[in-house]
Structure 1
Amino acid sequence: MPQTVEQQDISMNDIKGALQSGNTDKAINLCQQALKNLGDKDKEQQVDILYMLAVAQRSKGAIVEANQTLDTLLPLAPEHSRAYQEQGYLYLLTGDKVKATLAFAKASKLNPALLASWQQLSTLYAELGPASGQNHATQQVEYLTHLPTEIRGARDLMYEGKLALADKVCRRFLQNHKHHAEAMLLLAEIGMQLKLYHEAEFLLESCVEIHPAHINARAEYVKLLSKLGKFSKAKQQADLLLSKQADSQPFLAAKASAMVGIGEIEAAIAIYQDILKTRNDLPGIQLLLGHAYKAQGEIKAAIQAYRQAYKIRPSFGDAYWSLANTKTYQFTDSELTLMHNQLNNVALEVDDKIHLQFALAKTYEDRLQFEQSFHFYQSANNSKKDCIHYSQDKLEEQISAQKTVFSRDFFSAHSNLGAADPAPIFIVGLPRAGSTLLEQILASHSMVDGTMELHNILGLAARLSGSKSGYPNVMNEIDKQYFRRFGEQFIEQTQSYRQGAPYFIDKMPNNFMHIGLIKTILPNAKIIDARREPMACCFSGYKQLFAEGQEFSYDLSDLAHYYQSYQALMTHWDEVLPGFVLRVQHEDLIDDLETQTRRLLDFCQLPFEANCLEFYKTKRAVKTPSSEQVRQPINANAKEQWKHFAPYLSELASVFK
């Protein structure tokens, strides 16, 4: 007896086949039945089927039904570029060219490889204006049209989040078209999204050497160098861009951003101000100007710049969040109303929504309205989690591998192979555990340079991960002479962040995962574990919107699991490397600053200096969320802030009883 449609497993190929043959009724029927069979089991598949259903309905001329389908799809996937492209087509069918333009613009912003959207925009802007919009759309059409079909397809896959497939297509193309500039650039962009920064850096460096006139590749190279903290090199590359386009606002901003990174903050501020003299309608430049002022400790000037940013673009969520993230700014009632109004804007970008939700959460916390505050913290974290992919299982695999490879036997067989330089002081732990305070105390010592959260160890781990055995397993296979070389490279690559003191700090908290690697390549380095009481640490992380990474921090269950995993690995390091790590409990530091500071300096083999107790007087650029706290004398205000939210934190409390 043949199966009915209801009994069959319906594939996307079945639906696409019906559409391609022009049988829209069959395609609609297949989509509707597939959705019925699927239920709420698979959100990603549900989104794909809803999109195909909207296409089929539009093809049939069922405009109302197609719009209803998109109204179901977009809350599930608010950054679905092709859904907005479908909206554009539907608006064209009803003659609403203004809304069609907005929809195609949204689609092309989310996925710049959507040739069809750019083609529609080129026509619409020609009719409706502005001329600059038509010029840009026409340029994009020309750029995409001249790309090899494979690379255009791979670019589309990348923007749709299908990174593994995009990577595969791009590599296959490069096998037959070695050193193709656009393919090298795209493969580097994919690598950056996969956090394979070393490979991306190598590709971009090679690309600009082979194709020195390729502006886009060099611009991406500057961005990556800044992301990696290689600010001196980023500045040099930005100057090369400016030698070709001296008045380019993006290139000037890129140079200024690099200058902030190397401490040339006043000169960077001057560049931002010069840009704003020419164009005073650039909220992004106002934001960067605010960040530069904040890093320098000029908080009033930073606030003024952030406020100007949202006045230019009232939906600019990052401007509100940057104000909240000063930890000292108090929003006015009118600003609070403005934020709520923006949050209710149906056209609000997802990124703006997340920033606004975090800003509102901080606002209500400051006003002691804790239930309302937690509502926004929870909404903000849920919104952010929808945009990322985090796996507790993957973390457990990483922790287990570290424990397996870096055993007592490993360190017995690999002792004193690395570079002997004792200069590096690593501060590790979880974000929001007090590492910035420890850094500021140490950086107040005359023999210690404060730097930033350096990516070098993470970059080395990523490089080793590319080996056949993977990292950390490859550590047992590497020729032992390489360990000294790795250590020397670390010292050499971090030289540009130092100011001449004998010791310097690397405050990358995630390096707790790589203490075994650090010990192997830098046996005389110092490791300080910044530890904070788990409820306070986890909730503080939950309240923070991080610039990048820390994907575990947007869910209370993930936070608890991550904290426990971190504890377990630190216990392992204590067992296999006794005495190599100094644990500093944040609460102990708050209660007795001098005793803990002396203990810290003794561990680092540094003589006591009273300046370390007056760390808040030390003038240096600080770019972490705690920048304003460490410019104040020590206080216990934050020790038990989480208790205001205790009724909503049972998920954490059940773990940390």
Structure 2
Amino acid sequence: HFLRANPRNVEGMRLLAQIGIKLGILDDAEFLLDSARAFEPDNIQVRLDYIDALRRRQKFAQARTEAEALHARDPENPLFQSHLAIESMQTSDYDRAFELFDAILAKLPGDPATLTSKGHALKTTGAQDDAVASYQAAIAAKPDHGDAWYALANLKTYRFTDDEIVRMREQAGRPDLAFMDRVHLSFALGKALEDRADYTDSFAHYERGNTLKRAQTRYSADAMTAELAKQRELCTADLFAKHAGSGHDAPDPIFIVGLPRAGSTLLEQILASHSQVDGTLELPNILALAHRLRGRKAGQSRYPEILHELGSDQLAAFGAKFIEDTRVHRQNAPFFIDKMPNNFRHIGLIHLILPNAKIIDARRAPLDCCFSGFKQLFAEGQEFTYGLAEVGRYYADYVDLMDHWDTVLPGKVLRVQHEDVLDDLEGQTRRMLDYLGLPFEEQCLEFHKTRRAVRTASSEQVRRPINRSGQDAWKPYDPWLAPLREALGQHG
């Protein structure tokens, strides 16, 4: 309302864009910040917010160009160096990122945020020992820096010492501790005590972290159940029969869908080890398209009803745009993986715009999958994981929706059970490659030797040969899992 009366007010545009980013309306946020930057090119906060919006939209090359422009204005400015380092990481130029991080640390030797970011970059490239040293240096500089404590826990392979656990408890007990430091320390202590088999105390810390995080979210299990039920109601066999032959015919995409912590990074690493397949990221493009199809009216989504109104030309254009917009993440292989797990909600849309795309459902035993999600603090999104009842209900809704897709699109989705991959790696790898129409390659079984940046929480686990370390991890916590079992119901 204010901007209608003051259409060139840059701060108003910036604040509305911030609201858009919080609500996930990233295309509007990007447009507002791009316009604000044109009106006031010297407004540094607008420029920084614009870089943030571009990164969130995974427009990494453009975000880096913007960061380069800021850096060129004042090459010695640590803030500009830091932003350019982060955007260099996103475009896989790790050498430049490390050079910039080191330049900042030469000026600000104990800067905890820089040490932590450098640790993330080292972890992503597989230099685990160096990552640990960088995280520990951040903690030495700022003992309550929860981000670095949790980064150690999130390696999954790090084991905390007695002294570190004492220090974490001291920091967690401080009444003046910042909110996110408290969240990070809760999850880190949960992991540290789990490794010590102190399950009672471990669960108390996981529960505390989740309770804090849940209070911060707007997640509604009822709303999610209703949204997924709408997909089942409106994405019918008739809809797909009506649009047979429509869409963009590119066979390039391989979508790996399911729940987070279900083993999807392992499947991606196996398939990305094949000479004809590029691994990319959890791409936001399908979620962004679904959001756009909802329409502009708050609380009145037109999606998925609108799928019945779209013509062949529109469906083909959406598919072509997906192929074009994701090209930036690919190397030179004919096929590429989009590992966004939440795409399972939009398999109907994917099939309509890209009928030749392949879809793999990465599924894991319900209690293992749900409890692993509950133990994980996600960088953003996946808000259904911050409660045992919520994550159990989401899993049940997911299984019901996947059953629906199997009914209306028979044979479209290949289901790969995580436990079957652990039992028979070669058999399941051959099964996936047969489904994709690709010849078997031995290096797929040597996936842990494949050198590529892995940005998910499983990065260290997929750099090791296949193992069962996560199987049945819920069992010691069984006394506290009644809400999860109840929510899973028949799917438990």
The two structures have a TM-score, normalised by structure 2, of 0.96
Structure 1 position 576 matched with structure 2 position 405: no
Structure 1 residues 206 and 484 mapped into 2: Cα distance closer, same or farther (>3 Å)? farther
Structure 1 residues 209 and 480 mapped into 2: Cα distance closer, same or farther (>3 Å)? farther
In structure 2, distance between residues paired with 1:192 and 1:465: 17
Cα shift at 1:210: 4.0
Aligned length: 486
In structure 1, distance between residues paired with 2:237 and 2:187: 44
Give the number of the structure with larger relative contact order, counting CA–CA contacts within 8 Å between residues 6 or more apart: 2
Note if contact 1:467-1:474 (Cα within 8 Å) is conserved in structure 2: no
What corresponds to 1:436 in structure 2?
A: 265
Secondary structure of the corresponding residue to residue 467 of structure 2: coil
Structure 1 position 640 matched with structure 2 position 472: yes
Cα shift at 1:478: 3.1
**Equivalence map 1:158-197=2 (5 Å):** 172-197=1-26
In structure 2, distance between residues paired with 1:508 and 1:479: 26
Structure 1 residues 585 and 243 mapped into 2: Cα distance closer, same or farther (>3 Å)? same
Structure 1 position 616 matched with structure 2 position 445: no
**Equivalence map 1:183-582=2 (5 Å):** 183-467=12-296, 470-582=302-414
Residue type matched to 1:611 in 2? Q
Cα shift at 1:466: 2.5
**Greater Cα offset, 278-287 or 608-617:** 278-287
Note if contact 2:254-2:338 (Cα within 8 Å) is conserved in structure 1: yes
In structure 2, distance between residues paired with 1:210 and 1:495: 31
Residue type matched to 1:327 in 2? K
Secondary structure of the corresponding residue to residue 315 of structure 2: helix
Note if contact 1:434-1:586 (Cα within 8 Å) is conserved in structure 2: yes
In structure 2, distance between residues paired with 1:189 and 1:558: 28
In structure 1, distance between residues paired with 2:166 and 2:465: 34
In structure 1, distance between residues paired with 2:349 and 2:31: 22
In structure 2, distance between residues paired with 1:227 and 1:248: 23
For structure 2, the residue ranges without an aligned partner over 5 or more in a row are none
In structure 2, distance between residues paired with 1:209 and 1:460: 26
Note if contact 1:199-1:463 (Cα within 8 Å) is conserved in structure 2: no
Deviations 1:211-248 (A, max 9, x none): 43332222111112212222111101111222323223
Match for residue 604 of structure 1 among 407, 432, 436: 436
In structure 1, distance between residues paired with 2:241 and 2:39: 45
Aligned-residue sequence identity (percent) comes to 48
What corresponds to 1:631 in structure 2?
A: 463
After the TM superposition, which segments of 4 or more aligned residues of structure 1 sit over 4 Å from their partners?
A: none
The two structures have a TM-score, normalised by structure 1, of 0.72
In structure 1, distance between residues paired with 2:8 and 2:304: 31
Higher gyration radius (CA): 1
In structure 2, distance between residues paired with 1:248 and 1:401: 51
Cα shift at 1:632: 0.4
Secondary structure of the corresponding residue to residue 425 of structure 1: strand
**Greater Cα offset, 396-405 or 444-453:** 396-405
Deviations 1:398-451 (A, max 9, x none): 112212221111111122322111111110000000000000000000001111
Secondary structure of the corresponding residue to residue 377 of structure 1: helix
Residue type matched to 1:296 in 2? T
For structure 1, the residue ranges without an aligned partner over 5 or more in a row are 1-171
Structure 1 position 652 matched with structure 2 position 484: yes
Note if contact 2:271-2:444 (Cα within 8 Å) is conserved in structure 1: yes
**Greater Cα offset, 350-359 or 381-390:** 381-390
In structure 2, distance between residues paired with 1:396 and 1:368: 35
Deviations 1:363-421 (A, max 9, x none): 01111111111111111111111111211111022112212221111111122322111
Deviations 1:7-58 (A, max 9, x none): xxxxxxxxxxxxxxxxxxxxxxxxxxxxxxxxxxxxxxxxxxxxxxxxxxxx
Match for residue 586 of structure 1 among 411, 415, 418: 418
Note if contact 1:294-1:302 (Cα within 8 Å) is conserved in structure 2: yes
Deviations 1:153-175 (A, max 9, x none): xxxxxxxxxxxxxxxxxxx1111
